[in-house]
Amino acid sequence: MENLQNSYPATPEGVWAGFHELRQLMKENEIKAEKAREKKRAEEEKWRAEEEKWRAEEEKRRAAAEKDRIAADKRMKKLEEFLGSWANNFGSFAEEYFFNSFENEQQNFFGEHFNEIRKKVKPKGKNLEDEYDIVMYNDSSVAIVEVKSKAHINDVQKVLKKAETFRILCPDYADFNIYLGFASLSFYEELEKECIDQGIAIIKQVGDTVVINDAHLKVY
């Protein structure tokens, strides 16, 4: 502004000329400012467009991920249903296998002869019920056999519980000797030791034969 004042004499013509140049400078500055604003608006518009594009792509990714999750859940559910069905079928096979072995060959069991054998015995009481996979009877003893396709040491306590619940649910046999057996298509050393310590007969498949280890048997 000081340079502008020094460029023109203090006459009407000079003032007018200075005023004209000032307006021209202001116009140029406004044009520059407008260009700067336009550039900023263009950059902001570009940024918003890129943000919208990113959001759209992110939404698309989320939708695809959700679709994949739903598909994976469906596959997992089908797999669980298959495995559950397979496990049930395998468990049923194990029960049928050992029952047939006892029924056909193994009625001399636990040092006694049993003249009656039943499977899937499910007595119910007022506040108690239980299920016994295989039960064998004679005039003074009952043999209860729990069957698993794949036995685990945690199942031993469940086997021990069978003697207690059977006496309650089947009072006609309350004074009978009760023997316990654990039958499985597979055993491991720690499990067998626990069964021996608890006086539970070990009944397992060895090749095509059912092998019974009842030398350590206890009466419950």
Tell me, yes or no, if the pTM score tops 0.85: no
Question: Going residue by residue through the chain (220 aa), what tens digit of pLDDT does each one get?
Answer: 545 455 656 666 665 666 666 677 777 777 887 787 888 888 888 888 888 888 888 888 888 777 767 766 666 665 555 445 444 555 566 777 888 877 665 556 677 888 889 999 999 888 889 999 999 999 999 999 999 888 899 999 999 999 999 999 999 998 999 999 999 888 999 999 999 999 999 988 877 778 888 889 899 9
Pair of tokens at residue 106? 């193994």
3-state DSSP of 175-195:
CCEEEEEEEECCCCHHHHHHH
d(CA 165, CA 173): 11
For 105-213, CATH number? 3.40.1350.10
- pLDDT for 7 equals 60
